[in-house]
Amino acid sequence: MEATTFVLFGATGDLAKRKIYPALYNLFIDQKLPLSFSVIGLGRRELSDKAFQANVEQSLLTFSRREANDPVLMENFLRKFRYNVLDVNRKEDYQKLLQLIEQQEEELRMEPNRMFYLSVGPEFFETITANIHESGLGSAKGWKRLVIEKPFGHDLQSARDLNKNLSKAFTENEIFRIDHYLGKPMVQKLDVLQQSNPVLQALWGNRYIANVQITANETVGVEERAGYYDHVGAVRDMFQNHMLQLLMMLTIHLPNNSTSENVRFKKKLVMDSLKLLQKEDVSSNVIRGQYGEGTIQGKPVVGYISEPNIAATSRNDTFIAAKLQIDDYFWRGVPFYIRTGKRMKDKSTRIVIEFKEPLKQSGTAADTKMPNLLIFEISPNEGILLQLNTIDPLNKGEFKPIHIDFHESRDNVPEAYENLICDALHGDSTFFAHWDEVELSWQWVQPILDAYEENLVPLHLYTAGTYGPVESDELLAQDGYHWWFDDKSVQEIESIKGGQYAYHTND
């Protein structure tokens, strides 16, 4: 891998500590970092290199999933880290940074390849990229890359404005927009599973699939992020990015040995085919919710408007469920139900594919028969489960669902940030959000934002520790379906199977 200077804006922040340093450390242990690699951490506070390295070490001890107690390994890793004070608004700080980088590249005989990672608030993105451009930091002979964290805009117009400004300093091929759901190992496997298994390939589309359910439930509430979250809500925080990315990754049809260009092109096709909602239709296709007080894992929790720094009058959404339709050859007629919420009963991100029931449709008595389900467990557990029907040996004539279940041990699963940083170091943008799809995602979400703004969609209060407002069940019920793995469906299956079915986990 090519020599790289990893220039980290926001090196003293929360994301750097919790995700970026542990990811770099794991890549280092697995020998996936370039041999010639150095990190320059940036922030306003004064820190010596030693103090910075001590902070990095502390974050590894706290957050790394791997052992961080081998002193030699640790020393070798920390030696790669240096710190430099930089205020994003001070032009002279960029000149000092340029000198430091050039000096280091010369000392270490490194090619001038620079990866600029913006782990700072989005309000700084345009200032930083303009200064990288003007200062000459981005003009070296090697390659340059920009890694940015969501949010990529606040609505369609602001996303377009942001992109226009970033494009003045970096080309689209140089911009790596992180959506950490695209780094989750199961999400990265979705296309391979489809491409390399004819049994799945043959079933992939509207001929056999009745509906698809994509869920990302969290048990946590707003935590200490009121300032951010109360302005974005579930629709911007999770739906516009993570949830639509899951939809794209599941539904694209890729050729064998596809490239990042193929992925980008096919994702755009999916988003282009997504039926747009009119503002007036939002209330019949989208359920907006906000959590009230309740109990999570036996502990009482307050409602959203009683959380610290949230106004008692806040109408912010903490839950969204929506019905989407892809109007193309493969998916026409298959409803996609997507939901995500905070303070839900359990922590689970999963995709459930419910297959059509040919026996029921042809009028054959099959009351006890369950539909075939294919479930991709994305996190916190990773696995694939297939539900098939067989005959109950104790009660002939009755169907009994059986489960073919594969689960990956959590220890074997790399963190999303490891995968993504490794890909960015290789210049592979397959699992990053490309501008086309980001723009089309905002375009799809914009009528929802407008309808919320104009209060055209009711805000349903749901009890913390449940599966969201009952209205979200009705969204499926009107089409003859229900959410799988909520209490009702679990009981239904258990009553037939006579055993423990669900594998719910906690945050």
Active site residues: 242
| Residue number with the smallest Cβ distance to ligand NDP | 13
Ligand-binding annotation for 236, yes or no, is no
Name residues contacting ligand NDP, limited to 74-113 (CB under 6 A).
Answer: 86-89
14 binds, among ligand LXAUTJHC, ligand NDP, none (CB under 5 to 8 A by kind): ligand NDP
Nearer to ligand NDP, 75 or 87 (CB): 87
The CA–CA distances, whole Å, from 111 to 4, 7, 131, 366 equal 7, 14, 22, 68
418 forms part of the interface with ligand LXAUTJHC (CB under 6 A): no
**Region near ligand NDP per CB under 6 A, out of 42-50, 249-257, 300-308, 318-326:** 42-50
In the complex, minimum distance from the CB of residue 147 to ligand NDP, in angstroms, rounded to a whole number: 11
The 3-state DSSP class for residue 342 equals: coil
Answer whether 49's CB lies under 8 Å from 57's CB. no
Q: Which helix (H) or strand (E) holds 77?
A: helix 71-78
Answer whether 267's CB lies under 8 Å from 436's CB. yes
Buried b (16+ CB within 10 A) or exposed e, 223-232: eeebeebbeb
Sign of the CA dihedral with 267 first, then 272, 275, and 280 last: positive
218 binds, among ligand LXAUTJHC, ligand NDP, none (CB under 5 to 8 A by kind): ligand LXAUTJHC
44 binds, among ligand LXAUTJHC, ligand NDP, none (CB under 5 to 8 A by kind): ligand NDP
Q: Within 13 Å and on the Cβ side, how many CA atoms surround 339?
A: 32
Q: How far apart are CA 276 and CA 331, in angstroms?
A: 15
In the complex, minimum distance from the CB of residue 498 to ligand NDP, in angstroms, rounded to a whole number: 42
Rg (CA), the chain: 24
443 binds, among ligand NDP, ligand LXAUTJHC, none (CB under 5 to 8 A by kind): none
The residue count for binding ligand NDP (CB under 6 A) is: 21
In the complex, minimum distance from the CB of residue 499 to ligand LXAUTJHC, in angstroms, rounded to a whole number: 28
Ligand-binding annotation for 430, yes or no, is no
Nearest in space to 354 (alpha carbons), one of 239, 457, 256, 484: 484
Work out which of 57, 105, 149, 377 binds ligand NDP, going by CB under 6 A: 149
Ligand-binding annotation for 342, yes or no, is yes
DSSP 454: T
Work out which of 122, 185, 294, 427 binds ligand NDP, going by CB under 6 A: 122
Name residues contacting ligand LXAUTJHC, limited to 357-386 (CB under 6 A).
Answer: 379
Q: How far apart are CA 106 and CA 379, in angstroms?
A: 44
Nearer to ligand LXAUTJHC, 16 or 493 (CB): 16
**Region near ligand NDP per CB under 6 A, out of 115-123, 130-138, 330-338, 448-456:** 115-123
Ligand-binding annotation for 88, yes or no, is yes
Answer whether 308's CB lies under 8 Å from 224's CB. yes
179 forms part of the interface with ligand NDP (CB under 6 A): no
The CB density around residue 478, as the number of other CB atoms within 10 Å, is 10
Answer whether 93's CB lies under 8 Å from 127's CB. no
468 forms part of the interface with ligand NDP (CB under 6 A): no
Work out which of 105, 174, 191, 218 binds ligand LXAUTJHC, going by CB under 6 A: 218
The CA–CA distances, whole Å, from 340 to 213, 382, 465 equal 11, 18, 13
237 binds, among ligand NDP, ligand LXAUTJHC, none (CB under 5 to 8 A by kind): ligand LXAUTJHC
Which residues, including other chains, have CB under 8 Å from residue 107's CB and lie 6 or more apart? none
Nearer to ligand LXAUTJHC, 238 or 476 (CB): 238
DSSP 352: E
Question: CB burial class (10 A; 0-12, 13-18, 19+) of residue 99?
Answer: exposed
222 binds, among ligand NDP, ligand LXAUTJHC, none (CB under 5 to 8 A by kind): none
Q: How far apart are CA 377 and CA 372, in angstroms?
A: 16
Work out which of 5, 38, 84, 119 binds ligand NDP, going by CB under 6 A: 119
**Region near ligand NDP per CB under 6 A, out of 40-48, 268-276, 436-444, 497-505:** 40-48
Nearest in space to 417 (alpha carbons), one of 60, 19, 40: 19
Annotated binding-site residues for substrate read 180, 184, 218, 237, 342, 347
Residues that bind ligand LXAUTJHC (CB under 6 A): 216, 218, 237-238, 349, 379
Residues that bind ligand NDP (CB under 6 A): 10-16, 18, 43-45, 86-89, 119-122, 149-150
Annotated binding-site residues for NADP(+) read 10-17, 44, 87-88, 150
